[in-house]
Amino acid sequence: MHSARLLLLAFTMLPYLNAEPAVLASTDGTPAPAFRWDLTLLYPDEAAFQSAKAKLTADLPRLKRFEGHLGESPASLLAAMELLTDLSAQLTRLSSYASQASDENTRNAPALERSQELDMLGTEYSRVASFVNPELLAVGESKLRGYLDAEAGLAVYRFPILDVLRNAPHTLGAEAESVLSSTGMITDTASSLYGILANADLPWPTIKLSDGTEARLDQAGYTRWRAVNNRADRQAVFTAFWGKIREYERTFGVALFSQVKTDWFNASVRKYGSSLAAALAESDVPEAVYRTLLAETNANLPTLHRYFKLRGRMLGISDLRYWDIYPPMVKSDKVFTYDQAKQLTIDAVHPLGEDYVADITKSFAGRYTDVYPQPGKRSGAYMSGSVHDAHPYVLLNYNNDYESVSTTAHEWGHGQHSVLANRTLPAPLSQYSIFTAEIASTCNEALLLEHMLKVAKDDDERLFYLGSALEQLRGTFFRQAMFAEFELRIHEEVEKGGALSGEELTRLYTDILKRYHGDADGVLKIDHLVTIEWAYIPHFYRNFYVYQYATSIAASQAFAERIIACEPGAVDTYLGLLKAGGSDHPYELVKKAGVDLATPEPYRALVKRMNRIMDEVESILAKRQK
């Protein structure tokens, strides 16, 4: 079977970057232990980690004993599958620990080296296991189905084994698969280069704001200060931050061009017609999903432009610029402590039932979250739930604002997805696709919004939350679809033999950025300084990843509306989707739950919801003018 199925080490990350808050801290200024995750729950100490790594290294050669013997009997096939599962579990735990420990401080060289060593060990696993897919195909469908019917223990492997048969036209011979697996040692170079440059080595600028504040504009600082109320300060933040990134346009261009070439190499050697086809085929997502998303997004750009005009009206700005997107349309200085964020999330998910509430309460009570920013800590937020027999972890960069509350609900939506899938299913079936993962997270955000609107004390507070909801829909649907369109464009350029310099990437991104923001129609002016934004997006180093944010929020809005409306069976259907993990192809799982993402309807329903929210905002504004 494809090693990707057995080595699903993907950490679900989101582009929410937060800055340093005032927090409860220990005497040396670092966050107290209650605000740090406890990785000793994975390995009690370094010695245990090294021992486990040595064990996996020693265990890997055992797999080769099955080479040439998978088709001997049902018992032989079962033994091989069980060993694969065991080796994958060992590697997943080791890799999760090493990666998370490195993310605590990306400047920590020994931690980075440990993570790199696990990348190498993962490549070796893939090389050793590379014979499995070709040999299963050689055994043949008829014989394999007979084995699956004859041996009850193979039931948990039925779906992944049959998935190997589905991918037969794109599976190479044993020797070629072995060589291709070995390229893993070099194919992540572009992503590694981006990560170190963006998170550790780039010399971020510091500027003085109008109130005298010294603002260091690393990625977390940019996210914090781009939303300040003073417009001149926002422009200064954008000028300094994007100006610094533009100094490295060539370097970022080389990195992203290398990634796109890698994607096309992997697709072409497996005889796919495009990088997109290869990326979608892994989870059997119809290409109509991607194409329909882009078509519907472009058809509904007038709704996005309506939002920008409403934003300009509420901010009192007639000449909108890119630095006017991020400040809230209604000013709020309200501080949300992390304890409040946890309680608000718990209150918001009550419609999902007592068991879900109990699970998320337990997650918050344990040391599974790394809460606050620290120097060198990885920016953004993600959930790591790949270790089947361990509790999921979440990395945050909490900033005591409502966006941080929303991010907390979002990431622990992922976390509870893993809790439910890991509890319900055995390891070979529990690891779910990003295609369904983002449904769990954005549904939590929708439920959070509904709760906040209920507890809002006045129209000002309602406007703040409604504005936040509009920004979520812009950022997660329209913005991610824009990224998806850019990603498709640059892959198509390479596939036809074109080159992508940093300057060319900026040119391509500029065209799309201006169209989405209505530059030609005077909706929002795109200045040259922000057209380097493509260099800031880490998700471009994860092959055709971003579109799933947009498809998922379309699906999650449908599920959330049914849950909020108390439709019979809505909660059970939704939780059933989460519990289904990776037991079927993700598009089919979502379709069976009542949402077909290959059709226009889910996207049009989302756009209607966005328009309804704007109607409500305008109604409040009209009431005030009377």
Mind telling me the catalytic residues? Answer: 411
Buried b (16+ CB within 10 A) or exposed e, 161-173: bebbbebeebbbe
Task: Give the angle 388-123-198 at the CA atoms, nearest 5°.
Answer: 85
Q: Between the CA of residue 66 and those of 78, 87, 165, 176, 580, what are the distances in Å?
A: 11, 14, 19, 18, 30
**Among 3, 135, 120, 137, which residue's Cα sits nearest to residue 70?**
135
**Among 416, 413, 446, which residue's Cα sits nearest to residue 554?**
446
- SS3 of 357, please? helix
The residues pairing with 216 across neighbouring beta strands, listed in sequence order, are: 206
**Neighbouring C-alpha atoms within 13 Å toward the C-beta of 497:** 0
Query: Burial, 269: exposed, middle or buried (Cβ in 10 Å; 0-12, 13-18, 19+)?
Result: middle
**Among 242, 245, 249, 244, which residue's Cα sits nearest to residue 226?**
242
**Neighbouring C-alpha atoms within 13 Å toward the C-beta of 312:** 17
The backbone torsions φ and ψ at residue 25, rounded to the nearest 5 degrees and listed phi first, read -135, 165
With both helix axes pointing from N to C terminus, report the angle between 354-365 and 338-348 in degrees, rounded to the nearest 10: 160
611: left (phi over 0), alpha (psi -120 to 50) or beta: alpha
51 vs 500: CA distance, rounded Å: 44
- The answer to whether 533 and 247 have CB atoms below 8 angstroms apart is no
303 vs 605: CA distance, rounded Å: 12
DSSP string computed for 472-503: HHIIIIIHHHHHHHHHHHHHHHHHTT----HH
- The answer to whether 348 and 406 have CB atoms below 8 angstroms apart is no
- The answer to whether 87 and 59 have CB atoms below 8 angstroms apart is yes
Q: Between the CA of residue 152 and those of 74, 142, 581, what are the distances in Å?
A: 10, 17, 21
97 vs 386: CA distance, rounded Å: 11
Q: Under 8 Å CB-to-CB from 392, ≥6 apart: which residues? A: 363, 368, 383, 384, 385, 414, 415, 418, 419
539 vs 620: CA distance, rounded Å: 37
Scanning the structure block, which residue is given the tokens 């955000």?
445
Q: Under 8 Å CB-to-CB from 568, ≥6 apart: which residues? A: none
Scanning the structure block, which residue is given the tokens 């009431």?
623
DSSP class of 594: T
Buried b (16+ CB within 10 A) or exposed e, 543-557: bbbbbbbbbbbbbbb
